[in-house]
Structure 1
Amino acid sequence: MATTLRYAKGESALGPFVAAISGQGLAMLEFGELTPAIRAGLVARFPDVTLVEDKAALNGLLPRFAALIAQPRDDHGLVIDLQGTPFELRVWEALCRIPAGRTASYGEIAAQLGTPRLAREVAEACAANMLAVVVPCHRVVKKDGSISGYRWGFRRKRELLAREAGEENEVMDGPLDRRGVGHGPADLFGMGAVVR
């Protein structure tokens, strides 16, 4: 089935970003520009995708995405179209349960999933995340608590963590139900969660 993703560029407190929406919701929020590598990632996740630059379609959403980046603790009522492997979806669900202002290690996430030896695979799932800030892979750190790599740069990860540390530690509620207890990926992420 062909999918049309409408995308536009925006500006945020942490630099430029590009966002793409499908008919199901936000499909991508990446810092930087729409590079060939990002295009390839979208094609892998959305078979038969057509990318259409459409600032008008995202005009009302771009300020919401910029606000989310500025205040990563508030999901601003976003509906998302999350695509991934079964393991990626499980990892991303676990990431969404990490409260703002807190962190977890790759090993801790792997243990929560009942796969304590798969810390490296958890890191790979974090690296495959195309929804910066929405799926908070920036909250995952090394075993010793130090900041590890981040798809969108060490500086951005450090800044996101600092912004969240200044906020009260509470789990977010709303369309992105981040409590996650007893929820599968489809429940957590709405009808847009697709296993590939």
Structure 2
Amino acid sequence: MANGLQAITPEFEQIHFAIGISPVGNVLVGESANGICAVYLGKSAKELMVCLQKQFPTAKCVDGGNGIKNTLSKVIEIIHNPQKNTDFNLDLRGTPFQQQVWQALLEIPVGSTVCYSDIAEKLHNPGAVRAIASACGANNIAVIIPCHRVIRKDGAISGYRWGVESKQALLRRERLMLA
């Protein structure tokens, strides 16, 4: 370069991932250097890999390593036993508003549900119901950030990024654990 500086090519971020089977189907857990950045649920491992690569297009996704299989086991254990308290480092990537919503979701007790307007009220933003739903849909960390516990005001289960069947199964498991 004319000014004597060298162009620095940024290193690609590495995301270590593992895929396993849970009571609600396949689970992918992805972890960056900062913590868990993805927990995806789906019917096929291939579908989950496509989601990971789409969500993190510049990252190098590495199968295994860095204890990711242990993290995957802990996430699957949470699906088996939703009351299990596991402290994870999370790499939350979203707007400040989305992060506020996700924090509010973490406060919903196991086995309970709330509606989108309840979250909007909690955040002192009653007009933000659709934005709350969008933030739930943008949540990359299923199960750990329990967006599956948010339902419509009429009690209907709808709008889950990983499929309504998965949402129903997670809620059913939670209720059974409390019975």
Distance 2:100 2:61 in 1: 27
Partner of 1:11: 21
- Which amino acid counterpart does residue 147 of structure 1 have in structure 2? I
Partner of 1:42: 56
**TM-score scaled by structure 1?**
0.77
Q: CA RMSD in A?
A: 2.0
Partner of 1:144, secondary structure, is coil
Listed as ranges, the matches of 1:79-94 within 5 Å are 79-94=89-104
State the shift of 1:64 in Å.
1.2
State the shift of 1:57 in Å.
3.8
Question: Is this contact kept in 1: 2:148–2:170, CA < 8 A?
Answer: yes
Unaligned stretches of 5+ in structure 1? Answer: 170-196
C-alpha distance after superposition, 1:111-154 (max 9, x if no partner) = 11111111011001001111110000000000112212211111
Partner of 1:8, secondary structure, is strand
- Which amino acid counterpart does residue 21 of structure 1 have in structure 2? E
Partner of 1:114: 124
* Bigger shift: residues 69-78 or 148-157: 69-78
Tell me whether 1:70 sits opposite 2:84 in the alignment: no
Tell me whether 1:101 sits opposite 2:117 in the alignment: no
Listed as ranges, the matches of 1:1-196 within 5 Å are 2-32=12-42, 33=45, 34-43=48-57, 48-54=58-64, 57-168=67-178
Task: Give the greater-gyration-radius structure (CA).
Answer: 2
Q: Higher relative contact order at CA 8 Å, sep ≥6: structure 1 or structure 2?
A: 1
Report how many aligned residue pairs link the two structures.
Answer: 165
Distance 1:76 1:20 in 2: 16
- Which amino acid counterpart does residue 100 of structure 2 have in structure 1? R
- Which amino acid counterpart does residue 32 of structure 2 have in structure 1? S
Question: Is this contact kept in 2: 1:9–1:55, CA < 8 A?
Answer: no
State the shift of 1:168 in Å.
4.0
Identity %: 36
